[in-house]
Structure 1
Amino acid sequence: MSYEAYLDEVTTLLTELYDLDDAGAIKLVVAAQDAEFFVPHDANEAMRNLEQAKKDAVTLYQQKQNRVQTQEKQQQRQQQRAKQKK
């Protein structure tokens, strides 16, 4: 499959597996492209298959969840520090 079709497949899987809206799924895929996550896929056509697309969708979603959890923990720590200063 072409590189563009592969990215479309990952985006579609994100919407199907995780009930993300199209805009949210596209945002994840674009951010992954910016971070060069898909560079190996562009260079190696064998990596552009449905099985790999599902693995990549799962990975991207898990990374997003990890970022959200980290941000929440950082906010909690900041709130705790602010309370301690009072």
Structure 2
Amino acid sequence: MAKPPKPLTYEEHLDEVTTQITEIYTIEDDEAIRMVMAAQEAEYFSGHDDDPSICTLERAGVDARWVFDHYGRKRQKQH
């Protein structure tokens, strides 16, 4: 049986979420960073910091979609 992949560090996870936002939604890095920072400020990622085992590539994809849905579209509607 294969070992589960080693979790990312908290910082690596945030970087991966940012990268996936730029790749999935084809937006600029600075905008993706702004969204991730807003989610972090709202404590969305606090559970990730408390339990680093959830910081995986698969979870980064889930988090990227959640962050974009909650911080990307809201921002775009304001313009």
TM-score tier after normalising by the smaller chain length = 0.7 to 0.9
Structure 2 stretches lacking a partner, 5+ long: 1-7
Supply the RMSD in Å over aligned alpha carbons: 1.6
User: TM-score, structure 2 length as denominator?
Assistant: 0.81
Aligned residues: 71
Which of 20, 24, 28 is equivalent to 1:17?
24
Q: Quick one: percent identity of the two aligned structures?
A: 42
Q: Does 1:29 align with 2:36?
A: yes
What TM-score results when the alignment is normalised by the length of structure 1? 0.75
> Once superposed, which parts of structure 1, at least 4 consecutive aligned residues long, lie more than 6 Å away?
none
Distance in 2, matches of 1:68 and 1:49, equals 27
Q: How far apart in 1 are the matches of 2:47 and 2:67? A: 15
When Rg is computed on C-alpha atoms for both structures, the one with the higher figure is 1
Q: Tell me by how many angstroms 1:46 deviates.
A: 1.4
